[in-house]
Amino acid sequence: MILAIETSCDDTCAAVVEPDGRRALSNVVHTQTEHERYGGVVPEVASRAHLERLDGVIEKALADADTDLADVTRVAVTVRPGLIGALLVGVATAKGLAYARGLPLVPVNHLEGHVAAAYLADPTLEPPFAALIASGGHTALYFVDADHEMRLLGETLDDAAGEALDKGARMLGLGFPGGPALEKAASFAGGDLTRYDFPVALKERDNLDFSFSGLKTSLLYKLKALGEERVREELPYLAASYEAAVVEALLRKLLRAADLYEAPTVVVAGGVAANTLLRRTLEEESAKLGVGLVVPPPELCTDNAAMIGAAAPRSPTLAYPTYLDLNARSI
Ligand code: KG4
Ligand code: ZN
């Protein structure tokens, strides 16, 4: 069994995954609540909360899988990218566990983990495929070739997609997290997604990067021009058009990547993959194009350790005890 650990941001996570990385026997996520009163994740608070919680989370992951450390044959851990102090707690714990039991250690890239969640959602999935990761911290597009090699095709030049939704929601006076708040406000627009015209950046055919800063600026100007009362009246339409512009940017690039790289399947993961408009449009568009679609369930889309375990069989393994000088990296 693979014991997987993920502590790159504000979720303390551990999971037990089968050796082929296609089935999770447990997936424990403790979401830190310490940050709520600060309105954002405080890195040092995150590190300390991981330190307090991680042992218990690992014990629960082993218990939920009805197994113990004796059945663990390797330890997988997120080494980058993320908050450096938070990552170090996971890396030090993983090293300690692996070293004490003479096991190999697998360092995993967090974004490759998000992509690997697709193997848990569909254990029969085989590359090649194009994958979009869209969350509060990352927006990246990958091509996974038939040899499981992952190539980064594009990423955001400024805000992540989830960040753009969170900032837009905040400007509209809606709650946090912004994605679900916008979605709820937009549900009162009666399906009118085009009343307000928001820009979709970097439209050139061969450009697979993203940019969401123009969208934010555009919303700011619209709010100023409308004035407070009109903004209140128009809230559902503003929310719907803004959400639709983010979804359009994501879909356009993902389907273009599939086309350019002749990928028969597309994969979407990250917190934004929970979005109903995104899922629905993607189902329609992929069906039209005859492209397969894998969108993991929400609990595998947001940060978790099962996805880190799923990435482990395809990541280079460090033999015991060569990993003692392994370090975490923030980028
Ligand atoms: O992957 P995730 O849970 O966490 C990190 O980024 O660490 O992603 C969170 C992001 C937030 O920006 C949130 O607004 C967005 O995912 N999100 C959504 C939805 N649910 C969460 N965005 C659009 N629609 C949703 N239903
Ligand atoms: Zn993530």
Q: Can you give the pLDDT at residue 205?
A: 76
Ligand 1 lined by 135 (C-beta under 6 Å): yes
Residue with CA closest to ligand 1 atom 6: 136
Taking a 5 Å cut-off on Cβ, the residues next to ion ligand 2 are 135, 303
Q: What is the pTM of this model?
A: 0.91
| Residue-level pLDDT at 36 | 81
Mutate to test the pocket of ligand 1, among 13, 165, 176 (most ligand atoms within 8 A of CB): 165
- Cβ–Cβ < 8 Å for 192, 184: no
- The residue type of 157 is L
Nearest to 298 by CA among 267, 324, 327, 270: 270
| pLDDT for res 204 | 81
How many Å lie between the centroid of ligand 2 and the Cα of residue 226?
36
CA 205 / ligand 1 centre spacing (Å):
27
Rounded to whole angstroms, the Cα distance separating 72 from 75 reads 7
Q: Tell me, what's the pLDDT at 41?
A: 87
Are 329 and 81 in contact by the 8 Å Cβ rule? The answer is yes
Residue of 11, 135, 247 with the most ligand 1 atoms within 8 Å of its CB, for mutation: 135
Asked if the bond preceding 127 is cis, omega within 30° of 0, the reply is no
Q: How far is the CA of 159 from the centre of ligand 1 (A)?
A: 13
Which ligand is in closest contact with the Cα of 300? 1
Q: In what order do the strands lie in the sheet with 24-31?
A: 24-31, 11-17, 2-6, 74-80, 105-109
Ligand closest to 109 (CA) is 2
Mean pLDDT in each 10-residue stretch from start to end of the chain (331 residues)?
97 98 98 85 96 98 97 98 97 98 97 96 97 94 94 96 95 89 96 94 88 96 96 97 97 96 96 94 96 95 96 96 97 93
Atom in ligand 1 nearest the alpha carbon of residue 276 = 26
